[in-house]
Amino acid sequence: MGRTIIEDMIMVEVNRFMKTVQQDIENGVKEHNLIKIVNICVGSIINKMLFGYRFEGETEHEFYYLREILDNLQAHFANPLSFVMMLMENPSSVKNVPGFKQLYNGMLKDFQELKEFLDRQIAWHRKNFAVDGNPESATNFVQAFMMEMHRREQTGNVGDFTLDQLRNMCFDLWIAGQETTSSTTSFGILYLTTHPEAQKKLQDELDRLVGNERQVSLNDRPKLPFTNAVCNETQRLCNLIPQNLFHRTTKDVDINGYKIKKGTTIVPQISCVLYDDKVTPSNKNQTLEKENGFGVRPVLFKCCLERRIPVII
C-alpha cells in the first residue's frame, strides 16, 4: 500500500464530502453538520486502509457503532480520575472504589467492545483473503500483515507478527487516527470560515496551480506554500492534545537548572512551544510561507516536522 493508493482513498472521501454538502445545498438545507460528514469520511479512510472497505450503504451503521465507542472512551479519558488511574501500577485495584468504579467499568466495557469488533474483522479476513504471496500485493493493511505473518510462520521466525499484535495495531490506528484527524480537519474548516481573507488566498493559490480541470494531489505540495502554511497553522492553533500522555525519563536530565531524575513520570506539553512568540513570530503568514510552509524552527521541532503523508489533504 504505497502513497498513491492511500492518496486515492483520501480523494474518494474528499469527493464524498463535497458531494454530500452540494446535495444538501440543492435540497435547500440551510445549516450543515460538517463535523458529522468529516467524521464518517475519516472513518472510511481508516477502515479502507485497515480492512479494505468504506463505510457506506449497509456498512454505514458500523461506523456509528464504532463512533459511539470512541466518544465514550474520549469522555472517560477526559475525566480527571483517569489520569490518576494511569499513574497506578495496577489500575484494577480501584475498580470497586466509589468514584473510580463507574469509570473503570465503563472504560473496560468500551475497550472490550472495540476489541471484539476488531477480532471479528480479523477473523473475517483470515477466512476470505489470501495469506500467501507478497505483502506488497495486499489490498489492505490487515491482509498485508497476515501475509507477512504467514511467511514468517513458514520459516519459524514469527517475531512480533502475531494476531494479538495485529489487533493492537488496528486498535491504535482507530483510537489515535479517528478523533485526531476529524478534530484537526474540523478546526481547519472553522478557521477558514472565520478568516475569509485566508480562505480567498488559499483558493487563489489552488486555482493558479491546479485550476478546475483536475484535483489537487500530493505532487502539488512543493508548489503550494500558502496551502502548506494553512495546514501547519491549523495544526499549531488547534493544540489537539493539550493534556499529553504520560512519559518517563530514561536518564537524568537538566532543564533550565531543574534536575529531573531518571524514571520520573513527565507530561510533555507541546502547547508551550506552539504558542510561544519566540518560536512563531507575530507575522506568522510570511514566516510560514518561507521554506514551503514550514516556519517553525526545526531545531526545536526536529522530530515533529519531518515530512509525513497527511491523512486529509
Instruction: Give residue-wise pLDDT tens across range 144-177.
Output: 999 999 989 988 888 889 999 999 999 988 888 8
For 124, 151, 198, 210, the CA distances from 18, given in Å and listed in that order, are 32, 42, 20, 17
Single-letter amino acid code for the residue at 7: E
Rounded distance, CA 94 to CA 104, Å?
8
Quick one: pLDDT at residue 15?
94
The residue with cell 472490550 is 112
Q: What is the mean pLDDT of residues 71-92?
A: 85
Mean pLDDT rounded to a whole number for the chain: 84
The answer to whether 138 and 166 have CB atoms below 8 angstroms apart is no
Q: What angle do CA 51, 177, 145 make, to 5 degrees?
A: 35
For 38, 191, 224, 284, 289, the CA distances from 196, given in Å and listed in that order, are 21, 9, 18, 17, 18
pLDDT band at 294 (very low <50, low <70, confident <90, very high): low
Rounded distance, CA 233 to CA 195, Å?
13
- pLDDT per residue over 2-28, tens digit each? 567 889 999 999 999 999 999 999 999
Q: Could you count the other beta carbons within 10 Å of the beta carbon of residue 245?
A: 10
Position 244 pLDDT exceeds 50: yes
Q: What is the mean pLDDT of residues 182-189?
A: 93
pLDDT band at 284 (very low <50, low <70, confident <90, very high): low
Rounded distance, CA 33 to CA 25, Å?
12
Quick one: pLDDT at residue 300?
44
Q: What DSSP element (H or E) covers 22?
A: helix 3-26
pLDDT band at 179 (very low <50, low <70, confident <90, very high): confident
Tell me the domain boundaries of the chain: 1-36+51-175
- pLDDT per residue over 32-45, tens digit each? 899 999 999 999 99
Q: What is the mean pLDDT of residues 278-305?
A: 51
Which residue, among 179, 169, 166, has the nearest Cα to 72 in the 3D structure?
A: 179
Which residue, among 102, 96, 39, has the nearest Cα to 75 in the 3D structure?
A: 102
Rounded distance, CA 243 to CA 99, Å?
21
Q: What angle do CA 99, 103, 107 make, to 5 degrees?
A: 165
CA terminus-to-terminus distance, the chain: 18
For 137, 205, 270, 275, 292, the CA distances from 296, given in Å and listed in that order, are 38, 22, 13, 11, 11
Q: pTM of the full predicted structure?
A: 0.82
